[in-house]
Chains A and B, each alone.
Chain A
Amino acid sequence: SQKIEQNSEALNIQEGKTATLTCNYTNYSPAHLQWYRQDPGRGPVFLLLIRENEKEKRKERLKVTFDTTLKQSLFHITASQPADSATYLCALDGGYQKVTFGTGTKLQVIP
């Protein structure tokens, strides 16, 4: 069966360091992969989308990589700030209006 795993339930890092979050999937051939941020008591907010033929995508301090051979995406936040503390969700888009979400990683940036 299809499975999407984000390898850490929680990740604590020091302010200013780079946070790296991992998303692994099995039995899936996504067309695109998306990353979302969710703050407590709120709905997820879309951050970045990377297509299957793209290796890397950047947006300000965010960088996403997508390796369809390893079936893995890495999500990096450089120069992390306490305001980056949130839960980050990866989501696989196989098309046809179906997006499947991973289990999420709760990031805590410590001042």
Chain B
Amino acid sequence: DTAVSQTPKYLVTQMGNDKSIKCEQNLGHDTMYWYKQDSKKFLKIMFSYNNKELIINETVPNRFSPKSPDKAHLNLHINSLELGDSAVYFCASSGRGGASYNEQFFGPGTRLTVL
């Protein structure tokens, strides 16, 4: 009965590789997000999707490509991984669209380590 789930929990890979992180929510929410939390614990939004449509792209390098096959899933594919991509990536969802409350429900995070 997990609300927002992510896989994998840990990802260790070499520089230059391509990797994907998957996210699913069973809350019936319309909006899903990817956040990056760096080593200083600063949580920064990367992308937001509403009903499978991209609505926020916070100047993230185009090596990062989100994909939303349906409104319950938002995956993140990263090409040509760099050392600076090492961080914890959180998926989140929220239940309301438009200019309204955006209480975020977070997944457990994926710790990505690029060697």
Which residues of A are at the interface with B, using a C-beta cutoff of 8 A? 31-32, 34, 36, 38, 41-46, 49, 87, 89, 91, 93, 95-101, 103-104
Contact = CB atoms under 8 A, between A and B. Distances in A.
Interface in B45-95: 45, 48, 50, 55-56, 90, 92, 94
A31 B96 CA distance: 14
23 contacts: A36-B104, A38-B41, A41-B109, A43-B92, A43-B106, A44-B104, A45-B106, A46-B103, A46-B104, A87-B41, A93-B101, A93-B102, A95-B100, A97-B55, A97-B56, A97-B97, A97-B102, A98-B102, A99-B45, A100-B45, A103-B40, A103-B41, A103-B42
Contact of B99 (A31, A87, A103): A31
